[in-house]
């Protein structure tokens, strides 16, 4: 059964942790809102927190809520949040919690009932473990959303991007597009690496983000996969 409000929704994954998934997710939220859509960000699993008036909150979740059409309830935006900034299954074990996909789906459905589009940001890379049996790819599969891949442009990105593409397609998910995010200002042969990826990734390039120390997601120009 289709879930209301998911027509323009996407799952954002990356070639690794720290490659700009949150930046891209926030930029997509701004783009969706500029198109007149009610858009909400979601990060089902997060590790690492900062102090806020609402208590300890993951900084990526803070950014996603700020970029959304309104600040949806934390329990829906981020069902699983852990204090130590470590792999989520390890953080969960330390907290005596088992990450389950069913509560994530329930939270997503609650958000989708109020919005036109949900941008779901994954955790770490595409295959990061969630528990002893399931990983982030299983979460993406359960959500059944098209996937947008953020490629952190640095030495080694070709292998990481192509392996991630294989993993996405192996789960019979749609790779709706990819974004090249420059995270290493000293990367040699940036344009040649970009061209190599364009020739090998079987999905449209939605944007190229050049390196900036403090990028503003609202100013980033990218296309949405639903523009095609």
What does the alpha-carbon distance between residue 44 and residue 92 come to, in Å, rounded to a whole number? Answer: 13
Annotated catalytic, 43?
A: yes
Question: Contact at 8 Å (CB) between 222 and 24?
Answer: yes
The catalytic residue among 43, 65, 89, 154 is 43
Q: What is the largest CA-CA distance in the chain?
A: 48
Buried b (16+ CB within 10 A) or exposed e, 97-117: eebebeebbebbeebbeebbb
- Residue 21 to residues 41, 135, 180, 193: CA-CA distances in angstroms? 12, 17, 11, 20
Catalytic residues: 43
């Amino acid at each position: 059964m289709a879930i209301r409000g998911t027509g323009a929704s996407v799952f954002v994954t990356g070639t690794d942790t720290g490659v700009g998934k949150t930046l891209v997710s926030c930029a997509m939220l701004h783009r969706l809102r500029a198109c007149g859509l009610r858009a909400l960000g979601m990060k089902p699993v997060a590790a690492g927190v900062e102090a806020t008036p609402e208590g300890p909150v993951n900084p990526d979740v803070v950014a996603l809520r700020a970029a959304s059409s309104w600040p949806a309830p934390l329990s829906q935006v981020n069902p699983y949040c852990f204090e130590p900034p470590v792999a989520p299954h390890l953080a969960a074990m330390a907290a005596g919690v088992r990450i389950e996909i069913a509560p994530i789906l329930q939270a997503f459905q609650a958000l989708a009932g109020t919005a036109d589009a949900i941008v779901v940001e994954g955790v770490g890379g595409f295959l990061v473990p969630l528990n002893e049996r399931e990983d982030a790819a299983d979460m993406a599969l359960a959500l059944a959303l098209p996937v947008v891949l953020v490629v952190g442009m640095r030495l080694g990105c070709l292998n990481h991007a192509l392996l991630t593409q294989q993993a996405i397609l192996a789960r019979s998910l749609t790779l709706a597009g990819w974004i090249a995010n420059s995270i290493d200002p000293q990367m040699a042969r940036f344009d040649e690496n970009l061209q190599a990826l364009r020739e090998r990734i079987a999905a449209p390039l939605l944007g190229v983000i050049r390196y900036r120390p403090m990028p503003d997601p609202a100013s980033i120009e990218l296309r949405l996969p639903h523009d095609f």
